[in-house]
A and B are shown apart, each in its own frame.
Chain A
């Protein structure tokens, strides 16, 4: 059986070679240009199109059957020479957008590249105003076009970064199109986890096209772009959540699921808050790499500035550095960061402080954490009570808007206190909770209570005056009766 297979394979290879040779002899364009030894024909020898029996005339026009140059390259025979501008891509589109034609050549390539590229920034934008910013040949080459999976192809994963960089790292060229666009993407990419793997010839590592798309490349501000903020997590997850694909890399694949349910994921996906951080906000984009222990607080601190500043000035900074703990992540986790509640603070089992502080170890912190928790809980309770009393007073029709307005300060004190936790200073924390929050809540509670008392005073007052008036009416009635009796008697 193996022997038969071998014989068939040999026959197939020999006949294929003979067929290409015979075809090449028939293609008079190629024969002449090959003899001339020009660069296009040299490159064309390896071109996938030559292997598919597609002649030079398919793009350049003319009669490839004639060995008479005057006839073969006459305008009468449709010779157009070197296509210029958008004509270059039109030549490619003529076949590559025609599904039947592509099938006839035995190709299983999709026939929608033109449809896709029509939406791309490269197609829609022009520097000269006469032609697209790039043509198919800009990325795929003109002669010597190879299959995408051929490692020598400029659009093979290993070569894509260099191919894109031809334009994108050229500051002079890019200035013509968008002067504010950075030109250091390749430089950054080479420092990234993806770029390092790419340099080691790992074609599974993400290249430009994996994140930006290949034909349908849209600007980052385009809502349909793969790198638009709301789309980035899914773009990264396409590889990073794929267990099979990530098999050999020994990194978790649950980041997307965790992020989706995190406070940042909810802000992005449910509230459509574009300022919410996505993968590249913490990991970088072109230079994507996990932030190290030292840089985590800097990464979080780009948005949570005050928390990061307070932490840096706190006694925990030194302790965390010594133990090599990642600063924010130790208490808040990384991908599955949930909304911080009071439960994180204190010495209960679910509180993060108790991970290091206990009654026997790091006692000072243990006591501070317990007191901080008790203070913030008191403020919470006071705010709840104040709100209830204000609601009650409002329901009773009392004017309490002034106190309600002041209650905002207590709410603010709560938020400030939560930030101040990161100073890990009990005094500073107390100053906000007691000096600001509880002070306001106590005056609001007093005012609301007085307002409710006032309501009851008015109500009982009305009742008493009705009684008095009724009594007076009764006395008057009796008195009138008495006078009548006296007069009649």
Chain B
């Protein structure tokens, strides 16, 4: 009776150890594999200091039109003028920080918040904006438009 009781206890401890070991190995494998698998789908990374961004392809931007391009945490407005010149400015209105847009029918950069207007050199020409828009440099690399900070 004592023998069988001891035998049972020994058997139980052995099984528990087996379960613990098996569970531990499975858990460890999971803990190792999950980050590996997750690595294949990387999380979002903070932007490093942006100095140049792509403004898309020239062939996709019509003449006399403009678009907003994200430059780090700032919006930049890229305009292809009717004379086929490329201009880029910080798209934050100098009045109250709204995002400006290109207004084709007026031929100006326009702020929807208070009707501020800038000419295509970025100068404030009407409405409440107190200062011109900060210009950016635009270069073409083949068909790709590259926008960078002016040095």
Residue positions of A touching B, CB distance < 8 A: 267, 273-276, 303-307, 309, 398-402, 404-405, 408-409, 411-412, 415-416, 419, 454, 461, 464-465, 468-469, 471-476, 478-479, 482
* Residues of B contacting A303 in the complex (Cβ-Cβ under 8 angstroms): 127-128
The reply to whether the CB of B83 lies closer than 8 angstroms to some CB of chain A is no
* Residues of B contacting A405 in the complex (Cβ-Cβ under 8 angstroms): 70, 73, 75
The reply to whether the CB of B115 lies closer than 8 angstroms to some CB of chain A is yes
The reply to whether the CB of B144 lies closer than 8 angstroms to some CB of chain A is no
Q: Which of B1-9, B55-63, B94-102, B134-142 contacts A (4 or more CB under 8 A)?
A: B94-102
Establish whether residues A305 and B126, one from each chain, have CB atoms under 8 Å apart when the complex forms.
yes
A-B contact pairs, 19 of them (CB 8 A): A275-B128, A305-B126, A306-B113, A309-B115, A399-B43, A401-B47, A411-B98, A412-B113, A416-B112, A419-B113, A419-B114, A461-B34, A471-B20, A471-B23, A472-B25, A472-B27, A472-B28, A473-B24, A479-B17
The reply to whether the CB of B130 lies closer than 8 angstroms to some CB of chain A is yes
Knowing that A408-B75, A478-B20, A482-B17 are A-B contacts, what are 4 other residue pairs whose CB atoms are under 8 Å apart, sorted by A's residue number? Answer: A399-B44, A465-B27, A471-B24, A475-B24
Most central of B28, B70, B114, B124 by chain A CB within 10 Å? B114
The reply to whether the CB of B106 lies closer than 8 angstroms to some CB of chain A is no
Render B100-119 as a binary contact track against A, CB cut-off 8 A, 1 for contact.
00000000000011110000
Establish whether residues B17 and A472, one from each chain, have CB atoms under 8 Å apart when the complex forms.
no
Which residue from A306, A404, A465, A482 sits with its C-beta under 8 Å from B31?
A: A465
Which 6 pairs show the lowest CB-CB distances between chains A and B? A472-B24, A468-B27, A465-B31, A399-B44, A306-B115, A475-B20
Establish whether residues A469 and B31, one from each chain, have CB atoms under 8 Å apart when the complex forms.
yes
Most central of B24, B124, B127 by chain A CB within 10 Å? B24
Establish whether residues A416 and B24, one from each chain, have CB atoms under 8 Å apart when the complex forms.
no
A412 → B minimal CB distance (Å): 5
A460 → B minimal CB distance (Å): 12
Establish whether residues A411 and B97, one from each chain, have CB atoms under 8 Å apart when the complex forms.
yes
Q: How large is the interface on B (under 10, 10 to 19, 20 to 34, 35 or more residues)?
A: 20 to 34
* Residues of A contacting B126 in the complex (Cβ-Cβ under 8 angstroms): 305
Establish whether residues B17 and A468, one from each chain, have CB atoms under 8 Å apart when the complex forms.
no
The reply to whether the CB of B45 lies closer than 8 angstroms to some CB of chain A is yes
Closest to B46 in A: A399
For the complex, give the distance between the alpha carbons of A464 and B27 in Å. 9
Closest to A481 in B: B17
Closest to B19 in A: A475
Closest to B24 in A: A472
Establish whether residues B46 and A409, one from each chain, have CB atoms under 8 Å apart when the complex forms.
no
A395 → B minimal CB distance (Å): 13
Closest to A458 in B: B43
For the complex, give the distance between the alpha carbons of A472 and B28 in Å. 7
Establish whether residues B17 and A399, one from each chain, have CB atoms under 8 Å apart when the complex forms.
no
The reply to whether the CB of B82 lies closer than 8 angstroms to some CB of chain A is no
Which residue from A267, A399, A408, A474 sits with its C-beta under 8 Å from B45?
A: A399
Which residue from B14, B25, B30, B73 sits with its C-beta under 8 Å from A404?
A: B73
Closest to A462 in B: B31
Closest to B113 in A: A415
Given A408-B99, A469-B28, A472-B28, CB of A401 within 8 Å of CB of B73: yes
The reply to whether the CB of B21 lies closer than 8 angstroms to some CB of chain A is yes
For the complex, give the distance between the alpha carbons of A475 and B34 in Å. 22
For the complex, give the distance between the alpha carbons of A118 and B5 in Å. 119
B94 → A minimal CB distance (Å): 10
B123 → A minimal CB distance (Å): 12
